[in-house]
Amino acid sequence: MFQKIYARLTLKTKLLFPLLLVFLFIWIGGTLVNGYFFTQRLEANLRKETEEVASLISQEFDSKKKLLSSYARSIADGADISKFVLAEDKAALLRELIPFQASLNLDLIELVNKNNSVLVELRDEEIKTAILNDENIIRVANQGVNLIDIVTAQNNSPSVLVALNSIKSSEKVIGGVITGIAINDDVLNQIRAQSQKHLIAFNNSQITGSTLIDAYEDSWQAPKINSPPKQLKVAGIEYIAKSIKIDGLNNSATKIVVLNPTKNLHQTERNLWFNLGFLCLVGVTITTIIGNQITNFIIHRIQYLINATKRLANGDFTTRIKVDGNDEINVLAQSFNYMIKQLTERDRKIHLQVEELEETLTELEETKNKLVGKEREYSKTLEIKVQERTEELQDKNEQLKETLEQLKAAQTQMIAQEKLASLGSLTAGIAHEINTPIGIGVTAASVLEEKTNNLLQSFENGNMKRSEFKKYLNSASQSSQMILGNLNRAAELIQSFKQVAVDQSSEERRVFKIKKYLQEILLQLQPKLSKTNHQVNIQGSDSLSIDSYPGVFSQILTNLIMNSLIHAYDESDSGNMVIKYYQEDKDFILEYQDDGKGIADENITKIFEPFFTTKRNQGGTGLGLHIIYNIVTQKLLGSIEFESCLGVGTKFIIKIPINI
């Protein structure tokens, strides 16, 4: 927005405006900085002045204390005072003390005897009814102690600055004299000494004396003792205030607040800012006048250049600009004259080039006609080659499709062969397992047949004994139990083999208990496992059932265990394989873990690839984990992950829906 407005301005305004803007920025910035600096200096000086006045006030009170002490000493040293105190002649003492009070302008005179009794007490009208906290002063007045203290009042009366001096007779203390002046408006006005500063005395947060009458009526908060001077407002007038403390004994003290008006400070600040503003206005005016003269001179020279440029634009190549200096505008004029010279020469060359171009265009037109004819011939040839290439690519595409179908068929066939090989291995194992109970049953049946024939022969011969018959019955019972037990064992093996074999071949979906089915699978793998020192542990709930495909579970677990036997362990190793399963929300989790060799880093990304194996020379096909991956992700609609560390083992985590 600013750039658009600036672009519309005249050149004179564009030159003058930044000059004024920079000057105003520098001048106003300097004015504000100087004004702020001098204002802070003025305020600092006023605060310092207030500190100095507060110090002088403290010194003035110290002088008052010394003067008051001398008054007490002059009364105590009076020729007749000690005599009247011994006689306890109060009337005589009054006659002696009244002139002292009038001449010395004292607000309080008290005489006490050795028994702490007040013989005479003279008070000014202002403190006549005040309840003074002077018990401690009276108590020590007859002890020969000379001191100065502050006595506070209980009824918002002014505090009293007192001096104590002992009265002696024959070098013995017979009593004491107490002199005091009230810290009231009169005393504060005397100390103020006609200056513009005001003094205000406080007793227990109540004003007891002030040189500023409005301070009694206005509500304001005095600054804390020993705090730096601060600015506050009393009766609508601003002051710099400083609090000082007039200390006494027994934690008695009076706070005096010094008020230094800021009226002169504000007037000085206003004058300062007015003068600075006036100087700024004068500077702007001078800068505008000088800038205007400079820009007029520059604009006049530029206007002369503009007129020359217009003549040149109209075709007047004889135009020249007068050069009468070495400044930038004269340099521009020299450049302009040189440009005209170059343009004149270039115009001549252009005419020559135009003639040459016309001849060249004629030749190009003839060449174009020849090229158009050749282009038509090339287009026909190109169309024929493109057609031939397209047909060749289509043939190769058909060949690739056929090859892909053959690879898919080969993969399907190898997966089926893998399943049949697994089932064949299972059959061989079951045959081996069944052979043992069948052999034991046959042996027991042979023994039973032999003993039965012997018993039958004894019976036919008529010499069969009772003991022999009883022995035969025991033997027959044991043989029958042995035959029945081994036949039941064989029947269980056959039933388990039948169920697993049917599941693997039919892929029928049904509800089955996980733990029981896993145990049946391990039973079929027992011939393989019995040849090793490995242990397989199943961890999970006995009652957990899922609705899924038991056959694929058998294939998954068989491939995982066989993969561990082939790849994870050597023949002499003793390993542990853990099968853990559990339900997590609506998902079934199967974890298989071995503590074998682990998977090398370079093979981690390849283990699910078809035909990848590290034991190809030992009969590995590379389809085991690939089959598992396809079953889990496609058949069971789940996911499979694994973790592996060299020397620690491998863990597979299979996650599938509990109800597919």
Per-residue pLDDT reduced to its tens digit, 117-150 = 888 888 887 777 666 666 666 666 666 667 777 7
Last residue of a domain, one of 264, 293, 324: 264
Q: Indicate if 492 and 615 belong to the same structural domain.
A: no
Residue with tokens 């040849």: 531
Residue (of 179, 169, 172, 120) closest to 143 by Cα position: 172
Q: Indicate if 471 and 562 belong to the same structural domain.
A: no
Residue with tokens 């800012």: 273
Q: Indicate if 430 and 540 belong to the same structural domain.
A: no
The predicted structure's pLDDT at residue 137: 67
**Average pLDDT of 564-575?**
88
Looking at the 3D structure of the chain, how many domains does it have?
3
Q: Indicate if 564 and 495 belong to the same structural domain.
A: no
Q: Indicate if 185 and 80 belong to the same structural domain.
A: yes
Three-state SS at 484: helix
For residues 512 and 441, the model is more confident at 512
Per-residue pLDDT reduced to its tens digit, 181-229 = 888 888 888 887 756 788 888 877 788 888 888 787 777 788 888 888 8
Residue (of 216, 217, 222) closest to 256 by Cα position: 222
CB 567 within 8 A of CB 533: no
Question: Which of these ranges, 50-54, 481-485, 489-493, has the smallest mean pLDDT?
Answer: 489-493
Domain-located, residue 331:
no
CB 563 within 8 A of CB 625: yes
Domain-located, residue 9:
no
Q: Indicate if 402 and 538 belong to the same structural domain.
A: no
Distances (CA, A) of 340 to 196, 302, 314, 330, 337: 82, 17, 13, 15, 5
Beta pairing, strands 237-247 & 253-261: antiparallel
Residue (of 214, 209, 212, 231) closest to 222 by Cα position: 231
CB 2 within 8 A of CB 18: no
Can you give the pTM of this predicted structure? Answer: 0.41
Domain-located, residue 13:
no
Q: Residue 564 gets which letter from DSSP?
A: I
Task: Provide the domain limits for residue 425.
Answer: 365-505
Q: What angle, 0 to 180 degrees and rounded to 10, lies between the N-to-C axes of helices 550-563 and 328-461? A: 100
Could you give the CA distance from residue 19 to residue 15 in angstroms, rounded to a whole number? Answer: 7
Rg of the chain (C-alpha set): 62
The predicted structure's pLDDT at residue 536: 93
Distances (CA, A) of 72 to 99, 122, 522: 14, 14, 120
Q: Is 303 exposed, middle or buried (0-12, 13-18, 19+ CB in 10 A)?
A: exposed
Residue type, 393: L
**Average pLDDT of 281-292?**
78
Q: What is the rounded (10 degree) CA torsion for 651, 655, 658, 660?
A: -130
The predicted structure's pLDDT at residue 336: 76
Could you give the CA distance from residue 262 to residue 150 in angstroms, rounded to a whole number? Answer: 32
Domain-located, residue 137:
yes
Domain-located, residue 423:
yes
Residue 499 has pLDDT above 90, yes or no: no
Q: What is the CATH number of the domain that holds 586?
A: 3.30.565.10
Residue 652: pLDDT band with limits 50, 70, 90: very high
Q: Indicate if 478 and 511 belong to the same structural domain.
A: no
Could you give the CA distance from residue 271 to residue 634 in angstroms, rounded to a whole number? Answer: 92
CB atoms within 10 A of CB 574: 10
* Percentage of the chain lying above the pLDDT 70 cut: 80
Domain-located, residue 493:
yes
CB atoms within 10 A of CB 514: 24
Last residue of a domain, one of 201, 230, 264: 264
Domain-located, residue 22:
no
The predicted structure's pLDDT at residue 502: 46
Last residue of a domain, one of 505, 529, 551: 505
In Å, the largest CA–CA distance within the chain is 175
The two three-digit tokens of residue 169, written as one number: 């007779």
Q: Indicate if 98 and 221 belong to the same structural domain.
A: yes
Could you give the CA distance from residue 502 to residue 76 in angstroms, rounded to a whole number? Answer: 135
Distances (CA, A) of 566 to 115, 563, 572, 606, 643: 120, 5, 12, 17, 18
Q: Indicate if 570 and 500 belong to the same structural domain.
A: no
Q: What is the CATH number of the domain that holds 154?
A: 3.30.450.20
CB atoms within 10 A of CB 132: 21
Residue 642: pLDDT band with limits 50, 70, 90: very high
Could you give the CA distance from residue 357 to residue 352 in angstroms, rounded to a whole number? Answer: 9
**Average pLDDT of 304-317?**
74
Per-residue pLDDT reduced to its tens digit, 415-436 = 555 555 555 555 555 555 566 6
User: Measured in Å, how far apart are the chain's first and last C-alpha atoms?
Assistant: 66
Could you give the CA distance from residue 229 to residue 226 in angstroms, rounded to a whole number? Answer: 9
The predicted structure's pLDDT at residue 239: 85
Q: Indicate if 501 and 529 belong to the same structural domain.
A: no
CB 571 within 8 A of CB 531: no
Could you give the CA distance from residue 393 to residue 288 in angstroms, rounded to a whole number? Answer: 83
Apex CA 34: angle with CA 30 and CA 36, to 5°? 120
DSSP per-residue codes, 615-651: -GGGT--S-HHHHHHHIIIIIS--EEEEEEETTTEEE
Residue with tokens 């179908």: 405
Domain-located, residue 344:
no
CB 652 within 8 A of CB 639: no
Residue with tokens 């009169």: 186
Q: Indicate if 587 and 448 belong to the same structural domain.
A: no
Residue 442 has pLDDT above 80, yes or no: no
Question: Which of these ranges, 245-249, 549-553, 638-642, has the smallest mean pLDDT?
Answer: 245-249
DSSP bridge pairs for 123: 108
The two three-digit tokens of residue 365, written as one number: 């037109």
Q: Indicate if 427 and 460 belong to the same structural domain.
A: yes
Residue 623 has pLDDT above 80, yes or no: no
DSSP per-residue codes, 168-231: EETTEEEEEEEEEEE-SHHHHHHHHTT-S-EEEEEETTEEEEES-THHHHS---PPPTTPPPEE
